[in-house]
Amino acid sequence: ETLFKKGHKKSAPSTLRNALVIISAVPRILFLYSRKREIQLKFTVYKFVHILVSTHASSLATWKLPVFTMLPIRTRFLHAAYRHGWALESTFRLKNPHLSAKSLSFTQLSLNQKEFRHHSTACTSNLNHYQEVSKGYHSVFFYTRDGQYERWQFGAIAKNLLNISANARIVDIGGGTGRFASFLHSRYALTDPVLCVDMSPDMLKLAEDEPGVATHCSDAVSFATKMQPESVDYAFNKELIHHLQAPVELSKFYSGLYAGLKTGGQSITITRPKKNISYPFFTAAKQVWMENAHSSDEIQSVMRTCGFKNVRLAVEEIPLALPSTEWKDMIRSRMWSTFSQFSDEDLNHGIREIERRFESQNETVHFTERLYIIIGEKQ
């Protein structure tokens, strides 16, 4: 309050040290009142403390960087609700404080009140889901750190990429806990950190512990549409695209990526098939999967419409076997968003259906994992 009262004075100081922004616990909302006029505060920040808020906990992130930040306030009220996955677009959190913040200026600062409210219902649903699954995320087969599946998946993606230079600027949108972003940084010995973008503060909190990763809290469409023109060499999104609705959100997303990529840059989408799946799902879960997923043809068509050239699909697959108890536990914990729409009773009913349908696989479930890698270039 004191900070912004000072800002209203005609002789507002050009340098403010030890700036402290406090965001009160959810469901409170931060309002910055501009008294109906545009105010511009210039900060040279040597120590910036930002309290990030999730539903149940907050975490401190401290910068000791000579970061020069311009904060224009142009609307009557600004509200930032972390519960809906929104962050001030200028805020980045670095694990390695010696890394240059200059290399992370991928997005333009935007504080439009209407945009903060955009798709708040969907954001809340996804945030609640990932807040819960983040607690045991790396204990599940598909996301075990350096586990069998992770090694196969990351390797399968890498073999479909051209040689990435060490000075490449990379963003991983929907990057969750930052494991894939960290893999890219290590695999290609990158100079700059890989920017891991996710709308869940709980997932990003885990990403902060990954080497070579910087984090940014935003939903995918908002981030893509605010990217600075020609600022990125590679834009990855892995296991994200099914969260976006066709055709509007898909078009906005890929149009934003196209504008943000440098000439010669690539958009790489990693997803799973819409129909050609062999997971031991119960009937209702398979229906939800197919309703949310996009076919590879649809994704490629949207990418071409948005300007991408040489759009191509690579398919990687591997036969897998899991203990049935582990598979059923994954369903009960709603590890995939497919299961997040079902009540405990629905899931128990679905598991009984799986036990009946896959009775011959009583102790072990078998399926073929298929990965779709869709690459488009900006020429």
**pLDDT for residue 87:** 34
**pLDDT for residue 360:** 76
The answer to whether residues 33 and 3 touch, using CB atoms and an 8 Å cutoff, is: no
The answer to whether residues 253 and 220 touch, using CB atoms and an 8 Å cutoff, is: yes
CB atoms within 10 A of CB 300: 20
The answer to whether residues 258 and 378 touch, using CB atoms and an 8 Å cutoff, is: yes
Q: Using 70 as the pLDDT threshold, list the residues of the chain that sit under it.
A: 1-130
Whether residue 211 has a cis bond before it, omega within 30° of 0:
no
The answer to whether residues 280 and 357 touch, using CB atoms and an 8 Å cutoff, is: yes
Q: In what order do the strands lie in the sheet with 48-53?
A: 20-21, 48-53, 58-63
The answer to whether residues 258 and 308 touch, using CB atoms and an 8 Å cutoff, is: yes
- Helices 283-292, 344-357: axis angle to 10 degrees equals 110
Q: Which has the closest alpha carbon to 183: 159, 206, 210?
A: 210
CB atoms within 10 A of CB 35: 11
Predicted model pTM: 0.70
Fill in the amino acid letter for 294. Answer: H
Average pLDDT across the chain, whole number: 74
**pLDDT for residue 120:** 38
Q: Which has the closest alpha carbon to 351: 293, 285, 301?
A: 285
Q: What tokens appear for 121 in the block?
A: 């219902």
- Percentage helix, strand, coil for the chain under 3-state DSSP, each rounded to 5: 35, 25, 35
**pLDDT for residue 138:** 86
**pLDDT for residue 77:** 27
CA pair distance 81, 116, nearest whole angstrom: 8
Strand-pair category, 39-45 with 67-73: antiparallel
Q: What tokens appear for 352 in the block?
A: 């009984």
CA pair distance 351, 345, nearest whole angstrom: 10
